[in-house]
Every structure is written in C-alpha cells, then in structure tokens.
Structure 1
Amino acid sequence: MLQTEELLAGKKVLIVDDDVRNIFALYCYLESFGMDIHTAENGLKALEFLNRKPETDLVLMDMMMPEMDGYEAIEHIRENEILHDLPVIAVTAKAMKGDREKCLEAGASEYVAKPINLAELCEKMIGLVSQKPGYDQ
C-alpha cells in the first residue's frame, strides 16, 4: 500500500473556514503531505476560487460561516456542471444527532466533526481523491 504522502502529494485542496486557527491547524497538517493548499474564509470566496481553479482535487468545508455557509456553497458546487463531482468533506462543529445526515443530504461527500480526528480526516481524503477521475496511483 502506498504511503499517505505519496497518495496526497501535489493534490490541490481548498480549506474553507472563517476561523484562522482552524485554517492554520489544517494547513500545517496537510502541508506535511506535500499538498497544494488554498484557503477561503467563506462559501462565496470558495466559489470564486473554484470557478478560477476547477482542477481543485478536494474541498474541506466548514458548514457554519458568515456571508455564505457551507450548505449553500455545496449546493452551488453540485449545481455547477464543471464542479458537480468535486469531493467535499464537511468539517464542522455541528455534531448533534442528524447533523451528519444533514451535511450529506446537502451534497457533502463525507463528514468529519470538530475537533477533528486527523487520522479519520486523512483516511477520508485518500478515499475521495483516489476515486476522482484521472487518479493514477
């Protein structure tokens, strides 16, 4: 089995979160795998970025943000013909009964509750990028 670094190295990931502490923590973790990391502070900024960079491999989407939340942003992603199949992991503090289902119904590919279990996040990221068309590992 290939090492995590080999599976994620060079993959373009967009971290969408309005809390710079969360962005910093995820950025530092993902950087260790050699990922190409970009950030946006809300759903609107995320959509602007994705329209410029549709070749993005994966999005880590906070669900509760000002201006445009993750639910609305994912809805727009799923409606976009080019971005429709883009893997999106809902990364959220909303961890009550039914929240996971709500995120998946909104169009998230996966769900990870905060505080983030990094091993779980890594496993889900590998699963999603390895299913993406054009994956050659």
Structure 2
Amino acid sequence: FALLTGKCGPPPLVDFADTIEITKNEYNSEERVEYTCFNKYTLVQSHPYSKYLTCEDGEWRGKIKCLKPCSVSVEVMDERGLELRWRGREKIFSSHGDRITFSCKSGKYSVGSDLIQTCNDGDMDLPLCD
C-alpha cells in the first residue's frame, strides 16, 4: 500500500517466491527488496523481469516471475509404459528447462513421441510406450 510520505509499506507477496530478508513495515523511495523462488522453481531474469522490487514514490515497481517445476510419479510412468533412463527415484522433480530422458519398459516401444522431454513452466508432454 502507498504511504503519503512517498514511502512504501511492506513489499507485496509474489507467487512462488519469498523475500531473502525479513521485511520491514516501511521502505524509503529507491529502497529495493530481493526475492528468491521456492525450491525447484526458476527465476526469470530477462527483461522485464528481475529478482528485485523497488519502492518508487510510494509504490512497489518491478516484475518477478518464477517458473514452475515439473513432476512425474512412478504411477503415471507405469500407465504410459515408461521408466526413467536413470533409475532410483520414486518421483522426479525437474526445474523449468530441464530435459528428462525416459525409456520404454521391457517389451514396449515408443508410440510416435520423443523419449527426451523438456520441462516448460510446470508442463511436460510425457511420451507413450505400448
């Protein structure tokens, strides 16, 4: 909220992110607050986004965006005849931009889809093996 003095109140909540320091109740103009994304979320740092919000004349300015991770469970992979190329985990979490390599279970073959998929802001097309 804007204060009459040109100062800002506490910084706003940002989806999937927290401030890296304890917040204050009041900030002077030009003071900035740094945010970090939750675990496995990816901070966008290309224009117009950054990791900071800045108090300017009583208002918080700036844009922060955290991209969601992808998750895949063993149950979902079983339904699609898949397994991880690299074994050993019950559920995988991958950050935005990560490439995951699947393989077909023994006796099954890929049905028209690439076995290497990329996580895109929480979405990933899972291959199908039959």
- Specify the structure having the higher radius of gyration (Cα): 2
* Both structures adopt the same fold (TM-score exceeding 0.5): no
Instruction: Give the strand-richer structure, 1 or 2.
Output: 2
Normalization by structure 1: what TM-score?
0.23
Instruction: Give the helix-richer structure, 1 or 2.
Output: 1
